[in-house]
Amino acid sequence: MRAESRFAMRHVLVLVVLAVVLNAQFTWWVVYSLRENGVRLRLERQLMVDGLRRVAARVQERLARLEASLPAGGVVPSPKPPFSSLVLIPRNLKERQWEAREGGIALLVPVRGGLVAELGLPLEVVSRWVEEEEPGAWLVPPDAPRPRGIETVPLGLPVAGYALAPDREQWEVATIRYQRRVLMVVSEGVFFWVGMAAVVALLWRMLRQEAVLEQQRQNFISAVTHELKTPIAGIRLSLETVLSGRAQGPSQEQFLRNALSDAERLQNLVEKVLELTRFASGVHRLNIQLADLSQLVEEELLSAQVRAEARGVKVEADITPGVMVPHDGEGVAIILSNLLENAFKYASTTDPRVWVKLWVEHGQAVVEVRDNGIGIAPEELPKIFGVFYRGGDEVARRTPGTGIGLFVAREIAKAHGGKLVASSAGPGQGASFRLILPGAQQVDGEGELEYDNDEVSHGS
């Protein structure tokens, strides 16, 4: 039965529907907020304009009361405040009326003798009235240009041509508040949409990674199945041949050796899987102690010698003696075994060679395993330490394997506070793996510590 992926299609559909609903809801909120902010700005401006209309009505009331305060019956009025001047001019006029003059307005009053008394009212007086009624409002003369972007209200008769304008600061403040609210709404909308796009991109990336991981799991299962079937079939064939009596003497011994070799191969596969569950899951606790890494490397080379000879690989070693490093012997042995196994498998088919080197550099122990094999493409280098990853199809590849050895090795190196890095000049140029462990010390044959020149100069 196929294991269900962590992100099934129904999960994707739920997330997509949720994203569409949230996007529609937020888009509606943005449109609604922009419309409401526009309505709010119009209302604020309308309140200012209505205030100006009330001011205009009150100015007209004051002019009417001023006109009613003058004596009737053709008597020449006296120029009392707020009038500033009185001029008698010959003119045929039957009723009183207001007319615009330069610098203000004038009230024309018919008097005896066919004359008209012209009472001047300065513009400053009308402006003062406007300021008293609506602080900040100002009077716009007929010949003055109307302010741009600001609505004005005409004073009307009897002061036709004059207009009232609202307080510039209040008008601009209302406009600025509107622009800030719009900017805030638009910014929140952009932030939300960018967030949604990031979530969709992240979801798409997770789905792709899940698909790749699922494919690698399937390939891993296929590879493990193949790795299990091959030695089991070999063991069964060897034992059946021996039990049937068809193999006697040296031939019987060879069949038993073949069965033992297949059993070792099967045991190696089981150990690989166990290593994955122990070290990658974090269940296994490392027993890190200061020990001789040089001796451990030499022991692993000696254990791997049989495998190297079986593949015809020539191993050259350059091991610096007495390298003491805090490490877990079992864990580092697994790293070295995996690196050597990979080097043997992928070494050149014509003249397979593997170089192993250990030295101390800047207080760190460096173990390098290098081969002259098929190499690694540059785009494959970041991927080779992934769990279950192998270049190409796991079943169709010429070399056996499960794709978990390097992953386990890197996890163990990280648990030591070190690192495992790979490099290659490209396909056909071989590959190099370096295990770097911190806290390295080198001792001489008498057990005394030695330091390289870099360490001494650094400490001085």
Residue 263 maps to a domain: no
Residue 310 in 3-state DSSP? helix
- Lookup: tokens for 306: 């049989």
Residue 277 DSSP one-character state: I
Model pTM? 0.48
**To the nearest 10°, the Cα dihedral for 407, 323, 456, 437?**
10
Report the side by side order of strands in the sheet with 115-122: 85-90, 115-122, 104-111, 97-101
Select the highest-mean-pLDDT range: 140-154, 258-272, 313-327: 313-327
| Same structural domain, 179 and 158 | no
Domain termination residue (choose one: 109, 143, 166): 166
Dist. CA 192–CA 91, nearest whole Å: 75
The pLDDT value recorded for residue 460 is 28
| Same structural domain, 182 and 298 | no
Dist. CA 337–CA 323, nearest whole Å: 19
| Residue 357 backbone class (left: φ over 0; alpha: ψ -120 to 50; beta: rest) | beta
Name the average pLDDT for the chain. Answer: 81
Residue 220 maps to a domain: yes
**Is the pLDDT confidence value at 264 over 80?**
no
The pLDDT value recorded for residue 454 is 43
Under 8 Å between Cβ of 311 and 347: yes
Q: Convert the pLDDT of each residue in 391-432 to its tens digit.
A: 643 433 455 556 677 888 888 899 899 999 999 988 888 999
Q: How far is CA 314 from CA 54, 221, 427, in A?
A: 105, 33, 21
Q: Scan for tokens 């692993």, then name that residue.
A: 300
Q: Percentage of the chain with pLDDT > 90?
A: 20
| Same structural domain, 312 and 345 | yes
Range of the domain at 240: 175-258
Task: Count Cβ atoms below 10 Å from residue 45 Cβ, excluding itself.
Answer: 18
Dist. CA 381–CA 377, nearest whole Å: 7
| Same structural domain, 293 and 361 | yes
Dist. CA 252–CA 257, nearest whole Å: 9
Parallel, antiparallel, or unpaired for β 138-140 and 97-101? unpaired
**Is the pLDDT confidence value at 135 over 70?**
yes
Stretch 43-53: mean pLDDT: 91
| Same structural domain, 372 and 398 | yes
| Same structural domain, 253 and 120 | no
Task: Count Cβ atoms below 10 Å from residue 151 Cβ, excluding itself.
Answer: 15
List Cβ neighbours of 352 (8 Å cut-off, separation of 6 or more): 311, 312, 313, 314, 344, 371, 372, 373
Residue 437 maps to a domain: yes
The pLDDT value recorded for residue 418 is 94
The pLDDT value recorded for residue 18 is 79
Instruction: For 29, list phi and psi in degrees, rounded to 5.
Output: -65, -40
| Same structural domain, 158 and 230 | no
Q: Scan for tokens 């027993």, then name that residue.
A: 287
pLDDT tier at 339, thresholds 50, 70, 90:
very high
pLDDT tier at 435, thresholds 50, 70, 90:
very high
Domain termination residue (choose one: 148, 166, 184): 166
The pLDDT value recorded for residue 316 is 93
| Same structural domain, 16 and 138 | yes
Instruction: For 242, list phi and psi in degrees, rounded to 5.
Output: -70, -45
What letter represents residue 146's amino acid?
R
